[in-house]
Amino acid sequence: MNADVDQFAAPLGSEPEAEPPASTPERAALGVAVIGAGDMGSRHAQHWQASGARVVALVDPDLERATAAAARLGAQAYGDPSAVLADPDVNVISVCTPTYLHAGITVAALEAGKHVLCEKPASLTLRDAQAMHDAAERSGKELRIGFMRRFDPAYRPLMDYTTRAGRPLLAQATITAGVRPKRLMHDALVNGGPIIDMCCHVFNLWDVMFGGEPVAVSARGYTFSDDKPEVAGIAQRALDSALITLEYGGGSVGQIQVSWGLPAGIEPVERHTYVGPAGLVTVDWNKHLTLRDASGVTRWRSRGVDPWRAEIEQFTREITEGAPREVAGIAAGTAALRVSLAVLEAIATQRVVVPAEIADLEVNNR
Ligand SMILES: NC(=O)c1ccc[n+]([C@@H]2O[C@H](COP(=O)([O-])OP(=O)(O)OC[C@H]3O[C@@H](n4cnc5c(N)ncnc54)[C@H](O)[C@@H]3O)[C@@H](O)[C@H]2O)c1
What does the pLDDT look like over 319-331, one tens digit per residue? Answer: 999 999 999 999 9
The average confidence (pLDDT) of the chain is 92
Regarding the beta carbon of 63 and ligand 1, being less than 6 Å apart is answered no
Does position 16 have pLDDT exceeding 80, yes or no?
Answer: no
Secondary element (H or E) of residue 346? helix 330-349
Q: Give dist(CA 31, CA 109) in Å, integer.
A: 13
Sign of CA dihedral 302, 306, 312, 317: negative
Last residue of a domain, one of 131, 146, 161: 146
- 95 and 204 in a common domain: no
Which candidate, 239, 249, 200, places its Cα nearest to that of 99? 200
Q: Give dist(CA 187, CA 233) in Å, integer.
A: 10
Give the pairing of strands 3-8 and 296-301.
Answer: parallel
Report the CATH number at residue 340. Answer: 3.30.360.10
- 338 and 220 in a common domain: yes
Question: Is residue 174 domain-resident?
Answer: yes
Instruction: Count Cβ neighbours within 10 Å for each residue of 9-24 and write b for 16 or more, e otherwise.
Output: beebeeeeeeeeeeee
The domain in which residue 181 lies consists of 150-304+329-357
pLDDT of residue 364: 53
Q: Give dist(CA 241, CA 175) in Å, integer.
A: 10
pLDDT of residue 4: 42
Query: For residues 81 and 90, is the Cβ–Cβ distance under 8 A?
Result: no
pLDDT of residue 1: 34
What number does the ligand 1 atom closest to the CA of 97 have? 24
Question: Is residue 157 domain-resident?
Answer: yes
Last residue of a domain, one of 89, 121, 146: 146
- 117 and 210 in a common domain: no
- 158 and 141 in a common domain: no
Chain center to CA of 221: 22
Q: Give dist(CA 187, CA 170) in Å, integer.
A: 32
- 142 and 167 in a common domain: no
Rg (CA), the chain: 21
- 98 and 74 in a common domain: yes
Centre of ligand 1 from the C-alpha of residue 41, in Å: 7
Burial class (CB in 10 A: 0-12, 13-18, 19+), 7: exposed
Bridge partners of 59, per DSSP, are 35, 78
Question: Is residue 139 domain-resident?
Answer: yes
- 288 and 158 in a common domain: yes
CA-based angle 176:177:179, to the nearest 5?
A: 135
- 131 and 48 in a common domain: yes
Question: Is residue 6 domain-resident?
Answer: no
Question: Is residue 251 domain-resident?
Answer: yes
pLDDT band at 14 (very low <50, low <70, confident <90, very high): very low
- Mutate-to-test residue for ligand 1 from 46, 85, 95, 96, highest number of ligand atoms within 8 A of CB: 96
- Mutate-to-test residue for ligand 1 from 42, 43, 59, 60, highest number of ligand atoms within 8 A of CB: 60
pLDDT of residue 21: 62
Regarding the beta carbon of 118 and ligand 1, being less than 6 Å apart is answered no
Chain center to CA of 201: 5
Regarding the beta carbon of 64 and ligand 1, being less than 6 Å apart is answered no
Q: How many residues does the chain have?
A: 366
Give the pairing of strands 170-178 and 296-301.
Answer: unpaired
Q: Give dist(CA 267, CA 246) in Å, integer.
A: 26
Nearest-CA residue for ligand 1 atom 32 is: 60
Regarding the beta carbon of 65 and ligand 1, being less than 6 Å apart is answered yes
Q: Give dist(CA 133, CA 116) in Å, integer.
A: 11
Report the CATH number at residue 59. Answer: 3.40.50.720
Last residue of a domain, one of 146, 174, 197: 146
What number does the ligand 1 atom closest to the CA of 101 have? 31
* Percentage of the chain modeled with pLDDT above 70: 92
Q: Give dist(CA 174, CA 269) in Å, integer.
A: 7
The arrangement of strands across the sheet holding 76-78 comes to 76-78, 54-59, 31-35, 92-95, 115-119, 143-146
- 157 and 278 in a common domain: yes
pLDDT of residue 206: 98
Question: Is residue 310 domain-resident?
Answer: no
Query: For residues 67 and 77, is the Cβ–Cβ distance under 8 A?
Result: yes
Regarding the beta carbon of 60 and ligand 1, being less than 6 Å apart is answered yes
Q: Give dist(CA 294, CA 260) in Å, integer.
A: 37
- 159 and 69 in a common domain: no
Question: Is residue 166 domain-resident?
Answer: yes
- 271 and 204 in a common domain: yes
- 161 and 38 in a common domain: no
Question: Is residue 227 domain-resident?
Answer: yes
Q: Give dist(CA 159, CA 326) in Å, integer.
A: 15
- Mutate-to-test residue for ligand 1 from 40, 145, 186, highest number of ligand atoms within 8 A of CB: 40
166-225 per-position pLDDT tens digit = 999 999 999 999 999 999 999 999 999 999 999 999 999 999 999 999 999 999 999 999
Secondary element (H or E) of residue 315? helix 307-321
Q: What is the mean pLDDT of residues 65-78?
A: 97
Centre of ligand 1 from the C-alpha of residue 249, in Å: 35
End-to-end, the C-alpha distance of the chain in Å comes to: 52
Regarding the beta carbon of 337 and ligand 1, being less than 6 Å apart is answered no
- Mutate-to-test residue for ligand 1 from 97, 105, 124, 196, highest number of ligand atoms within 8 A of CB: 97
The total domain count for the chain is: 2
